[in-house]
Structure 1
């Protein structure tokens, strides 16, 4: 009986493995290790370079100036300041998809281009909504507490991202190349049931504040 049950269990695992989608090779930038309120710039060079207005931001709970909570990884995200169009150039290019987690006080649009500096063919567009306080609470502090997974799949090879129109209003984390889902990871078959059970247990409380800040960084 034991051997038959083991065979059935093994067959079930094989079936689940076959049913699970294969994950493509991806690269994820988490921005950990960059000092608070300093330019990202060439931190990920030579393949990834950010325009001058791009700053790393550390959660205030971890000693930084970040007015955010519930960040998807570590304590550091990035945001843009100034009036210039924020651009991320990818020297070697990437394909398949682009994604990230974001928190925003305003609607914005992120665009993926085939050329450098936001030129060439438009390969994909990601529209962002103003969702920064929706259905969430701090950890323990931070007004920008909703981080949403957003992405786009596309055909062709991309070399730049235009994050236009989000200065001081939008924070990003886990920038992902090669997948339209931030992080790009596909759960192992054995974790599917646990994930499904966990989804019913995950919740957060809407916080009421007398004064809500509208920038992702504290002044």
Structure 2
């Protein structure tokens, strides 16, 4: 019977290690892919905090992803007065801008791995720049130059809208991004179905912290075993 004690102790410590490993695995799994399709916004409405627990300029509200847009970021709705878009990946709303060189998306929580979206730029090329700081600041993590896209003005499938179809683009990068400039010529480029992966809300413990947790777990297991033997 004396030889069984070490076996029990090892079993308890191994259980603690397995539990810690599970916690870390779940933490990494909390990364959340989202798609911003701008549905629910009104024509020419400023997007603002539509995706940030707030509203657009006309009171429209969406899912709270912690994502906000600069005041020059506007929604445009297919078929609405003044709209000339078609062939969207998810009808009927896209984003564009009427002032400045770009509209900016801020992601306070940060996003990782990559960025994908659809765009239409019939007359002039555009660009997208990804930063590790808010409001287009910090280090540049990636830049995409966007060539002009087909003009669907004579295509019945586009319902004779010039800014049609919207073309898919994607880029990968290293690090945590906090903002993106979607740029080009004013009133000459539209964006839709912006897809990002939000980083986990839970911070992954540093290696030293993990070792500390394992040590505490091992000591707790050993203390429990000692108390049991003394009874």
TMscore range, shorter length: 0.5 to 0.7
**In 1: Cα distance, 2:183 partner to 2:88 partner:** 22
Instruction: Give the secondary structure class of the aligned counterpart of 2:135.
Output: helix
Instruction: Give the secondary structure class of the aligned counterpart of 1:65.
Output: coil
**In 2: Cα distance, 1:136 partner to 1:151 partner:** 28
Work out the number of aligned pairs and report it.
Answer: 154
Are residues 1:58 and 2:65 paired? no
Instruction: Give the secondary structure class of the aligned counterpart of 1:67.
Output: coil
Residue 135 of structure 2 is matched in structure 1 by: 117
Q: Which consecutive residues of structure 1, in runs of 5 or more, have no partner in the other structure?
A: 1-23, 180-219
Residue 48 of structure 2 is matched in structure 1 by: 41
Residue 195 of structure 1 is matched in structure 2 by: none
Residue 199 of structure 1 is matched in structure 2 by: none
- Residues 98-140 of structure 1 deviation map (CA, whole Å, 9 limit, x = unaligned): 1100000211110000011111111111110111417982432
Displaced runs of 4 or more, over 4 A: none
Are the equivalent residues in 2 in contact too, given 1:136–1:145 (CA < 8 A)?
no
Q: Which consecutive residues of structure 2, in runs of 5 or more, have no partner in the other structure?
A: 1-30, 54-65, 199-231
- Residues 9-66 of structure 1 deviation map (CA, whole Å, 9 limit, x = unaligned): xxxxxxxxxxxxxxx8411001000011110111001511111111100012xx3432
Change (3 A) 1:53 1:135: closer
Residue 100 of structure 1 is matched in structure 2 by: 117
- Provide the TM-score with structure 1 as the length reference: 0.65
Are the equivalent residues in 2 in contact too, given 1:30–1:76 (CA < 8 A)?
yes
- Provide the TM-score with structure 2 as the length reference: 0.62
Between Structure 1 and Structure 2, the one with more helix by share is: 2
Residue 164 of structure 2 is matched in structure 1 by: 145
Are residues 1:169 and 2:174 paired? no
Moved more, 162-171 or 126-135: 126-135
**In 2: Cα distance, 1:95 partner to 1:108 partner:** 23
Residue 224 of structure 2 is matched in structure 1 by: none
